[in-house]
Amino acid sequence: MKLSLGFSPCPNDTFIFDALIHHKIDTEGLDFEVFFDDVETLNQKALKAQLDISKLSFHAFAHVAENYALLDAGSALGFGVGPLLICKDEKFLQPGTLNNTSLKVAIPGKLTTANFLLGIAYPELQNKVEMVFSEIEDALIDGTVDVGLIIHENRFTYADKGLHKIVDLGNFWESLTGCAIPLGGIVINRKLSQEVQQKVNRVLKKSVAYAFANPKSGIDFIKEHAQAMDEAVMYKHIELYVNKYSVDLGTEGRKAIDILFEMAQAKGIIPKLTGNLYVNNY
């Protein structure tokens, strides 16, 4: 059985999926047609239910939960992994400067969890410009935007480009909730049978476990899609976003996701969710 599968070319995703798509593990008869896209493109595809299995932001998942269920394996949650709000002009580091509603803010996508957290922390920042996440640093440098919301490996590169951190929204979330921050997860289309959903859950968990046990196994595949990224940055990226929650959400991971959704529903950011969000019940 062949299933369509979408994930990003970022090192954490290629690290996780390498063993699965290259059959380094027993995939239980499953094959995969792979689509590489940035997370916001994947979010938009999920809105149209275009893929059988997809990486997407948890914020986006809340809008597609009627069509997709969340797998226990493959998620990106953690402490110290949140998005950063950064600037070029140091005046934005001064208290109160972000109260200016006219500030132009670069975001990596409307449906990203990063944008959701920005809305909680700084609801007055509404003048937002959507960009591919990798373009935000350059937009700050050339003055196209005033402040920018960065994710992924840009956490490791912004300072070298003369940019400054205003706030770590991951720290903001952790202080507010005491939970790991849920960034993105792997979902599967509900039109597929429960048997197939559970099979995908099993093989993905095996793929993550294989990657942990053989961390250099997928090095060529990871490098190929990381393009010009320095290898040290590449492995920092993996270390930051792939952890115990990537193997299995567990009750702790699910609690963090449930709190995120409860908070978003209370603020009217996402629709009210009903039914079971997950492939398997604990």
Q: According to CATH, what is the number of the domain 2-78+181-266?
A: 3.40.190.10
Q: What is the pLDDT of residue 5?
A: 98
Q: What is the pLDDT of residue 271?
A: 82
Q: Can you state the angle between helices 231-241 and 11-21, rounded to 10 degrees?
A: 80
With vertex at residue 233, the alpha carbon angle to CA 230 and CA 239, rounded to the nearest 5 degrees, is: 145
Q: What is the pLDDT of residue 69?
A: 97
* Rounded distance between C-alpha atoms, residue 205 and residue 202, angstroms: 5
Give Dmax (Cα) for the chain: 57
pTM as predicted: 0.85
What sign has the CA pseudo-torsion 138, 139, 140, 141? positive
What residue ranges of the chain are covered by domains with CATH 3.40.190.10?
2-78+181-266, 84-177
What tens digit of pLDDT does each residue of 153-166 get? 788 889 999 999 99
What tens digit of pLDDT does each residue of 88-113 get? 999 999 988 888 889 999 999 888 88
| Residue positions forming the annotated binding site for substrate | 55-57, 113-114
- Our answer to whether residue 152 is catalytic in this structure is yes
Of 152, 164, 225, 237, the active-site residue reads: 152
The stretches in the chain having pLDDT less than 50 are 282
C-alpha pair distances (Å), 146 with each of 90, 91, 128, 139: 11, 10, 10, 9
**Fold adopted by 84-177:** D-Maltodextrin-Binding Protein; domain 2 (3.40.190)
| Residue positions forming the annotated binding site | 55-57, 113-114
Q: Which two tokens stand for residue 4?
A: 């369509």
